[in-house]
Amino acid sequence: MRLLKTRYLIPMRPFLLRYFPVFIGAIFMGILGGTAVVALLEHYYPRAAPWALSASAAEDACVVLAVFITLCNAMIAYGRPKWVWGMYGLFIVCLLVALPAFRFSPHPFIYAESIVWPLLGLVLLSSKRHREMRAKCIELRHMRGKVLVAIEKRRKHERAIIRIKKSR
């Protein structure tokens, strides 16, 4: 039964207990902030504006946002910390699009939502815990690389032994 048990490079439970809330919080802030801004663009910006969205364009925008958020966070979790700038950019663009909408008198809840979620996302991304998580993910990526090098070295050694035995 020991063969079927997965072994991790670091203890998984303490890592998830410490860093998962801030990681998933940043994902949710991105999704909620992005969809609130899309709703603001769809319903409250004037139709004459070039950035106003139709219903089908709003659906497409939500799909693109979801794919972008997924890609950025998957790369962050994989140990590529520069992808956090994609999330920073998303939150800043959401704020820059939402702030001028005040003059079109949107519903107060949707307007507040389109401001609060990106701000909370920026706070989460710049928090100490999220920075620690990114540093740990980099360490994990380097550890995985060392393990892969060791496995390849062992495979080469085993192949050489097999070749020696075949030649006899």
Tens digit of each residue's pLDDT (9 = 90 or more) over 23-46: 999 999 999 999 999 988 888 777
Among candidates 134, 108, 156, which has minimal Cα distance to 18? 134
Query: In the prediction, which pLDDT does 42 show?
Result: 84
pLDDT above 70: percentage of residues in the chain: 93
The pLDDT value given to residue 161: 80
Q: What average pLDDT score do residues 121-144 get?
A: 93
Mean pLDDT of the chain: 88
What distance in Å separates the CA atoms of residue 105 and residue 53, rounded to the nearest whole number?
17
The residue-averaged pLDDT of 103-129 equals 92
Closest CA to 98 of 111, 116, 117: 111
Instruction: Please tell me the predicted confidence (pLDDT) of residue 51.
Output: 64
| pLDDT number for residue 126 | 95
Q: Is the dihedral of CA 139, 119, 96, 45 positive or negative?
A: positive
Q: Where do the domains of the chain lie? A: 9-167
Region of 106 (left: φ > 0; alpha: ψ -120 to 50; beta: rest) is: beta
Q: Number of helices and strands (H, E) in the chain?
A: 5, 0
Q: How confident is the model at residue 64 (pLDDT cuts 50, 70, 90)?
A: very high
Q: What's the CA angle centered on 65, arms 34 and 89, to 5 degrees?
A: 70
